[in-house]
Amino acid sequence: MKIGISACLLGYEYRYDGSHRKNEELIKLLEKHELIPICPEISSGFSIPHDPIELKDGKAFMSNGADVSDKLMKGSLISYERIRDCDLLILKSKSPSCGYKKIYDGSFSGKLIDGNGMFTSICLENGLKVFTDDDIGSIKGYTDR
């Protein structure tokens, strides 16, 4: 199975603050599959570190108020081209690019709302199967079939 996966879940220090969210349990679960690391924010050309980004009313804003919607969309489209033929995607939950079902509300207060990240929305619109790092049980069931 060919799986697109948020690079930060594999240990790449690509998060906005220069950290990662390496998930050893997920990596072990996927060891027999072809993994395609992706990061729409890196593809967008954001430096590491950079100010946090959140979505509000369909637009992407940095915590300093800068509208980075076009830049994040460009990186999301570049990332989509890399994974368009994957069997499934495993993305970092709550991210403004990769979040699935829940994202931060755009107030930079830590409040979550229903919604998808910019990259995730593109993937879903194109029929790709999406999981987050919070869905390990479901991922196991899907990859074991």
Strands 88-91 and 59-62: unpaired
Position 122, amino acid: I
Mean of pLDDT values over 89-99: 97
Location of structure tokens 């990596």:
27
Q: What pLDDT was estimated at residue 145?
A: 73
Question: What confidence tens digit (pLDDT) does each residue in 114-128 have?
Answer: 999 999 999 999 999
**What dihedral angle (degrees, nearest 10) is formed by the CA atoms of 62, 66, 69, 73?**
-70
Residue 99 scores a pLDDT above 80 = yes
Mean pLDDT of the chain: 96
Confidence tier at 144 by pLDDT (50, 70, 90):
confident
Measured in whole angstroms, the distance separating CA 6 from the mean position of its chain's CA atoms is 5
Higher pLDDT pick, 142 / 85: 85
Asked if residues 89 and 3 have their Cβ atoms less than 8 Å apart, the reply is yes
Q: How crowded is residue 25: how many other Cβ atoms within 10 Å of its Cβ?
A: 10
Residue 71 scores a pLDDT above 90 = yes
Q: Which residues of 64-103 are buried (b: 16+ CB within 10 A; e: fewer)?
A: eeeebeebbbebbebbbeebeebebbbbbbbbbbbbbebb
Percent of the chain scoring above 70 in pLDDT: 100
Confidence tier at 22 by pLDDT (50, 70, 90):
very high
Please state the pTM of the whole predicted model.
Answer: 0.95
Mean of pLDDT values over 55-83: 97
Measured in whole angstroms, the distance separating CA 11 from the mean position of its chain's CA atoms is 14
Confidence tier at 73 by pLDDT (50, 70, 90):
very high
Q: What pLDDT was estimated at residue 102?
A: 96
